A and B are shown apart, each in its own frame.
Chain A
Amino acid sequence: MSNNSILVIGGGFSGLTAALEAAEVGHEVFIVEKMPYLGGRVAQLKHYFPKLCPPSCGLEINFQRIKNNPRVKYFTLAEVVGVSGGPGNYEVKIRIKPRYVNNNCTACDKCVEVCPVERNSDFDFNVGKTKAIYRPHLMSFPMRYVIDDQVCEGTSCAKCVEACEYQAIDLEEKEKEITLNVGSLLVATGWVPYDVEKLTNLGGGQIPNVITNMQLERLAAPAGPTDGKIQRPSDGAEPKRIAFVQCAGSRDQNHLDYCSYICCMASLKHCTYIREQYPDAEVVIYYIDLRAPGRYEKFLNNIQQDEKVLMVKGKVAKIEEEPGSGDVIVTAEDIMGGLKVEERFNLVVLATGMQPSIAVEDLALDVAKDDQGFIIGGEEKGVFAVGCAKMPLDVMTSAETATGAALKAIQTVRR
């Protein structure tokens, strides 16, 4: 008898969609999420396509579906450490890292007030800071604090334990391991932004006022580290001239040897963020091809109407900091104009591509991957890749692959 349950690795938009689709057809579903919250990359955005909703909208709908569906169970801070068995009958070992905060936590924030340790916020891509004990983010689900044990001073400090009126903090919590029996696995491990430090000619990680597209999302997000104000990291100044560098790492055999799918639309979307705050800011988008597939063409048209947004065909291959001013000098060939030009900007945004998460941090699951780390097999084993674990996709298409894969997983466990 086949086990009817389905395991979803990854609790981002793809994983949530796949899990809910399967659960709503009647299957027991487990979501294993590495981060302390569900929602993945979408949770980090200010707006997302196709309708430019804030993530609190679409994610909230999915969280409601989880709350109302007893068939969905999820584990945060959890990772798959071993898989044995076969289709219809998998045994999966899962390691759950300690959160150090139990479900007494009322999210009252008293612990944060007393915590003496600061850390760079990975959620904010290091443009913001949190304490060692922190709320993952404003709309975090589950709404429960977490301690970063890499920086927390532990029981020798324990100021948070004293401050918590609800006995929600246990600094001695230990790692746990659990075993789940499932019939099929969905891999929805998603993506990580490509490491900009590798883009040395673009000043990645070196020049303060050269940021990534995901950092811009956090700067623009209302609950972000600057309360939604887009400003230069070096001095907090308002940028008046901003450049977008498309294909920063993508379509490049020295980095990511594929098109990352989302970056053109992301930069066009970012133009709307900028325009909302700075009606007079000038924007230049340097591109190889403007990829606004399908119905997104209209969005591109709208941005093209903006006289202060210029689109230049020619990839930026050199970025240098102007000493003193904090400004950034960008060199590109304006191909249609036939000129190699150096332009000065206050802020440069690298439209960094996506890399499959499991290319960076391997998954304890035997499944075929291509040379870039995308999953290219597994169907015969009842393992189905979803969303950006499979190929670079946007949110909407990821969700479609999630629905399709959920169906495949259901077929597997019903066999």
Chain B
Amino acid sequence: MADKKIGVYICTGCEIGENVNMEKVTEYIDEECSPAVMKQVPFLCGKEGLAQIQNDIDGEGVNRVCVAACSPRVMWDVFDFGPDVVVDRANIRELAVWSFHDPGLPEPEEDEMSDPLTMMVRDYIKMSVAKLDRKTKPEAEPIELDKTIMVLGGGLTGLTAALDTAETGYDVVLVEKEDKLGGFAAKMYKQTPTKHPYEKAEAPSINELISRVEANDKIKVMTKTSLQLIKGAPGKFKATVKQGDEEQVLSIGSVILATGWKPYDASKLDSLGYGKIKNVVTNVELEQLAKNGKLNRPSDGQPVLSAAFIQCAGQRDAEHLSYCSSVCCMGSLKQAGYIRELNDEAKAYIFYKDMRTPGVYENYYRAAQDDPGIFLTKSEIQEVTEGENGKVLVKVTDNLLGEDFEVEVDLLVLATGMVPTIADEPVLKLGYRLGEQIPDLDLFDGFAD
């Protein structure tokens, strides 16, 4: 780059000229910074003002331009003199002239202190010139980027990410630690609605997604594979993966973390009967029972004629999960339908704190509750005990019915929440000085922030 030649252009429009002692400013700047060119222009951003700057660039060889005028938010696109001219804005209008209020200080002894506004303007320009003087234009160093994208996790999210990435034209490596793709979605009997009118549970769409992924020749699927290490930098990662006993190193440009969630450890929910009473299961377990066509009482294989769902089994509870798991209200409405589908006389109770079916999911709530065999109430769970013949007794307080009561059911389902897989293990395995985990400020209870 050629020698730095600084031009200072002070706009005198927009009340700047009237309020600032320009003579003092230019005298000071000249003395302190001695720019190659310094001019006062009445309407700097206008055609003539810009032309003056351009003239100096062309004629005088000015290559650093200090625009002492308004905020860079205003006229942000006019002071562009090509890639070789560096421009800096000294915001003397908003930051000095317009916002300055005479503080009414006692008269200072030294002469120049008598005009604080002029001093401010002068200093802003001096700072800008100092910046221009020290700035060097960075030269781009193009590197050869690796364009393969690695997706970690072969559940619904990972599959969708892999497919969309491939369909946009990139090569994908999909890494799944289990032997099959599909994650939790593949273990579901039905899925909550995904499209308008959002009223009915749907047959799972995961299998279609899996076959599309498997059929896509841009996606390399690696099941039973674990990630060992990621080194390098964005665009140039080296990922070590292990399939069986075999390790290999992949060149990866970017990583999509889609390892999803695991169910909250229900053994901590013994106060709700889990682990103590046979006919108490989690929502994840119920899903599997339904998927396998074995939705019976675990204790004796007898049909389930009544089931209760306890929402927020652990969630929204400082002792367990302090957050809401977002999906459990929808999930229980769906699973209540499973119970009802078995037998027209079957009953499903849902005990909730708040029914959270935000946005369009309200449609599903409305449709699902319109069933004579589904009973909902806001409530607090007082106690879960074992009744006769393997039944489960659920006592609730603070409910909508106006008095405390209990119900006796064949099956109690705990709508347990989700814990991010990254909460307690460093899934990314970064070979970084900052640690193996995705950099996190720990704002969100283990979810990546």
Question: Which of A258, A289, A290 is close to B363, meaning CB atoms less than 8 Å apart?
Answer: A258
Asked whether B178 is an interface residue with its Cβ less than 8 Å from the other chain, the reply is no
Question: Which of B70, B325, B398 is close to A106, meaning CB atoms less than 8 Å apart?
Answer: B70
Q: Which residues of A contact B13 (CB under 8 A)?
A: 106, 108, 165-166
Once the chains bind, are A289 and B355 in contact (CB under 8 Å)?
A: yes
Interface code A386-407, partner B: CB below 8 Å = 1, 0 otherwise? Answer: 0000011100000000001001
Q: Which residues of B contact A108 (CB under 8 A)?
A: 13-15
Of B74, B168, B359, B445, most A-chain CB atoms within 10 Å: B359
Question: Which of A166, A301, A393 is close to B46, meaning CB atoms less than 8 Å apart?
Answer: A166
Asked whether B326 is an interface residue with its Cβ less than 8 Å from the other chain, the reply is yes
Once the chains bind, are B356 and A289 in contact (CB under 8 Å)?
A: yes
Could you tell me which residues of chain B, from 192 to 230, have a CB within 8 Å of some CB in chain A? 195-197
Contacts A/B (CB < 8 Å), 18 sampled: A107-B74, A108-B13, A143-B71, A251-B362, A257-B363, A258-B359, A258-B363, A259-B360, A289-B355, A289-B378, A293-B324, A297-B322, A297-B324, A374-B196, A374-B360, A392-B358, A392-B360, A411-B168
Taken together as a complex, chains A and B put the C-alpha atoms of A290 and B144 apart, in Å, by: 51
Taken together as a complex, chains A and B put the C-alpha atoms of A104 and B43 apart, in Å, by: 10
Asked whether A157 is an interface residue with its Cβ less than 8 Å from the other chain, the reply is no
Could you tell me which residues of chain B, from 29 to 69, have a CB within 8 Å of some CB in chain A? 43, 45-46
Asked whether B316 is an interface residue with its Cβ less than 8 Å from the other chain, the reply is yes
Q: How far is the CB of A403 from chain B (nearest CB, A)?
A: 11
Taken together as a complex, chains A and B put the C-alpha atoms of A47 and B449 apart, in Å, by: 19
Question: Which of B197, B354, B362, B402 is close to A290, meaning CB atoms less than 8 Å apart?
Answer: B354
Tell me the dominant secondary structure on chain A's binding face: loop
Asked whether B275 is an interface residue with its Cβ less than 8 Å from the other chain, the reply is no
Once the chains bind, are A301 and B359 in contact (CB under 8 Å)?
A: no
Smallest CB-CB separation from B78: which chain A residue? A103
Asked whether B254 is an interface residue with its Cβ less than 8 Å from the other chain, the reply is no
Of A141, A261, A293, most B-chain CB atoms within 10 Å: A293
Q: How far is the CB of B327 from chain A (nearest CB, A)?
A: 9
Q: Which residues of B contact A349 (CB under 8 A)?
A: none
Which 4 pairs across A and B sit closest by C-beta, in order of nearness? A289-B354, A376-B196, A259-B362, A108-B14
Taken together as a complex, chains A and B put the C-alpha atoms of A82 and B62 apart, in Å, by: 48
Smallest CB-CB separation from B42: which chain A residue? A165
Taken together as a complex, chains A and B put the C-alpha atoms of A295 and B13 apart, in Å, by: 50
Q: Which residues of B contact A410 (CB under 8 A)?
A: 168
Q: A166-B13, A374-B360 are contacts. A338–B168 as well, Cβ < 8 Å?
A: no
Question: Which of A143, A165, A370 is close to B43, meaning CB atoms less than 8 Å apart?
Answer: A165
Q: How far is the CB of B322 from chain A (nearest CB, A)?
A: 6
Q: Which residues of B contact A104 (CB under 8 A)?
A: 45-46
Question: Which of A291, A301, A374 is close to B322, meaning CB atoms less than 8 Å apart?
Answer: A301
Asked whether B323 is an interface residue with its Cβ less than 8 Å from the other chain, the reply is yes
Once the chains bind, are B447 and A295 in contact (CB under 8 Å)?
A: yes
Once the chains bind, are B14 and A294 in contact (CB under 8 Å)?
A: no
Taken together as a complex, chains A and B put the C-alpha atoms of A179 and B14 apart, in Å, by: 37
Once the chains bind, are B324 and A294 in contact (CB under 8 Å)?
A: yes
Interface code B268-308, partner A: CB below 8 Å = 1, 0 otherwise? Answer: 00000000000000000000000000000000000000000
Q: A166-B43, A258-B363, A414-B169 are contacts. A298–B322 as well, Cβ < 8 Å?
A: yes
**Can you add 13 more A-B contacts, CB < 8 Å, to A166-B13, A392-B360?**
A103-B78, A143-B73, A143-B75, A259-B358, A289-B356, A289-B378, A293-B358, A294-B323, A296-B324, A297-B316, A298-B445, A374-B360, A392-B359
Taken together as a complex, chains A and B put the C-alpha atoms of A414 and B402 apart, in Å, by: 61
Number of interface residues of B (CB under 8 A): 46
Once the chains bind, are B74 and A106 in contact (CB under 8 Å)?
A: yes
Asked whether A363 is an interface residue with its Cβ less than 8 Å from the other chain, the reply is no
Could you tell me which residues of chain A, from 288 to 344, have a CB within 8 Å of some CB in chain B? 289-298, 301, 313, 335-336, 338
Once the chains bind, are B358 and A295 in contact (CB under 8 Å)?
A: no
Once the chains bind, are A391 and B322 in contact (CB under 8 Å)?
A: no
Q: Which residues of A contact B326 (CB under 8 A)?
A: 293-294
Q: Which residues of A contact B70 (CB under 8 A)?
A: 106-107
Taken together as a complex, chains A and B put the C-alpha atoms of A114 and B322 apart, in Å, by: 57
Q: Which residues of B contact A106 (CB under 8 A)?
A: 13-14, 45, 70, 74-75
Taken together as a complex, chains A and B put the C-alpha atoms of A336 and B402 apart, in Å, by: 8
Q: Which residues of A contact B323 (CB under 8 A)?
A: 294-295, 297-298
Asked whether B400 is an interface residue with its Cβ less than 8 Å from the other chain, the reply is yes
Taken together as a complex, chains A and B put the C-alpha atoms of A295 and B441 apart, in Å, by: 14
Taken together as a complex, chains A and B put the C-alpha atoms of A242 and B322 apart, in Å, by: 28
Taken together as a complex, chains A and B put the C-alpha atoms of A289 and B164 apart, in Å, by: 36
Q: How far is the CB of B332 from chain A (nearest CB, A)?
A: 14
Q: How far is the CB of A295 from chain B (nearest CB, A)?
A: 5
Q: How far is the CB of A409 from chain B (nearest CB, A)?
A: 10
Asked whether A198 is an interface residue with its Cβ less than 8 Å from the other chain, the reply is no
Asked whether A67 is an interface residue with its Cβ less than 8 Å from the other chain, the reply is yes
Q: Which residues of B contact A165 (CB under 8 A)?
A: 13, 43
Q: Which residues of A contact B15 (CB under 8 A)?
A: 108
Asked whether B351 is an interface residue with its Cβ less than 8 Å from the other chain, the reply is no
Q: How far is the CB of B197 from chain A (nearest CB, A)?
A: 7
Q: How far is the CB of B151 from chain A (nearest CB, A)?
A: 14
Once the chains bind, are A259 and B324 in contact (CB under 8 Å)?
A: no
Q: Which residues of A contact B100 (CB under 8 A)?
A: none
Smallest CB-CB separation from B195: which chain A residue? A376
Once the chains bind, are A411 and B167 in contact (CB under 8 Å)?
A: yes
Q: How far is the CB of A335 from chain B (nearest CB, A)?
A: 6
Once the chains bind, are B361 and A259 in contact (CB under 8 Å)?
A: yes
Taken together as a complex, chains A and B put the C-alpha atoms of A88 and B121 apart, in Å, by: 53
Could you tell me which residues of chain B, from 322 to 376, have a CB within 8 Å of some CB in chain A? 322-326, 354-363
Taken together as a complex, chains A and B put the C-alpha atoms of A370 and B360 apart, in Å, by: 11
